[in-house]
Amino acid sequence: MENLTSRTIQLIDKFFNEIDRDVVKSLLIEECGKYSERIHFAIIKLSNGNTDTLLSTIQNAKIDYRDILMWSGFGENVNEHNILGK
């Protein structure tokens, strides 16, 4: 998918059921395409596989993506999200 790394797609596959995956990918591209993989990972982690929570988290990221990084535990270390992607 355009604008999503292969690791982001793998994480979506890990967190979301097959029915929701294409919607999640589209939302991340359309609403958060300008954000880094780290922010995408934070949004996915905070959503915990729930599309309603994903939408809410995306809206919060649009207000201030730094909040999303802090809430997910990725705010202090730029490489912390890599653990989730393994």
Asked if residue 55 has pLDDT above 90, the reply is: yes
Q: At what angle do helices 65-72 and 37-47 cross, to 10 degrees?
A: 60
Residue 35: inside a domain: yes
Residue 14: inside a domain: yes
Domain carrying residue 47: 6-84
pLDDT at site 53: 97
> Higher-confidence residue: 41 or 79?
41
Residue 36: inside a domain: yes
Residue 77: inside a domain: yes
Computed on alpha carbons and rounded to an integer, the radius of gyration of the chain in Å comes to 11
Asked if residue 1 has pLDDT above 60, the reply is: no
* This model's pTM is above 0.85: yes
C-alpha pair distances (Å), 28 with each of 4, 58, 69, 76: 8, 8, 16, 23
Residue 52: inside a domain: yes
Residue 1: inside a domain: no
